[in-house]
Amino acid sequence: MAMAREGEILAILVLFPMLLLLHSNTTQADSFIVGDLGWTANASVGTWPQGKTFFASDILVFNYDNQLYNVVVTNQVGYNSCTITTNSQVFESGHDRIHLVFGENYFMTGNPNNCQLGMKMAVTAEN
């Protein structure tokens, strides 16, 4: 009887961690190429997020000609006015990978004319 009890305990000790691993809710960040073809003034980047679900830590990939464009991560004020605010972060590599944060994420080009013509987008990331 003692041997059976030890076997049950051993089975529980071995199987329980395996079951936890199987049932754990691990998430992996997804990557999305902004505009599908890239971040340009000619694309409808402002409407690109519509119909997509994003999560905090997902990665937006901005592909663009860095001689013509850049990407500015800004706040709602900067987004609405197409101005770079003191808290804005400017990316200029042409192949930027930007992690989303929970809530609203605002992106625009640093060129006010292109921004006002629609080269900006807001992305809501769920937790």
Domains of the chain: 29-126 (2.60.40.420)
Tens-place pLDDT, residues 33-90:
999 989 998 768 999 999 999 999 999 999 999 999 999 999 999 999 999 999 999 9
Look at 22 and 105; give whichever has higher pLDDT: 105
Q: How far apart are the first and last CA of the chain?
A: 50
Q: Are strands 120-126 and 31-33 parallel, antiparallel or unpaired?
A: unpaired
Tens-place pLDDT, residues 16-48:
444 334 433 446 889 999 999 899 987 689 999
Q: Which two three-digit tokens encode residue 24?
A: 């754990």
**pTM, full prediction:** 0.78
95 within 8 A of 52, measured Cβ to Cβ: no
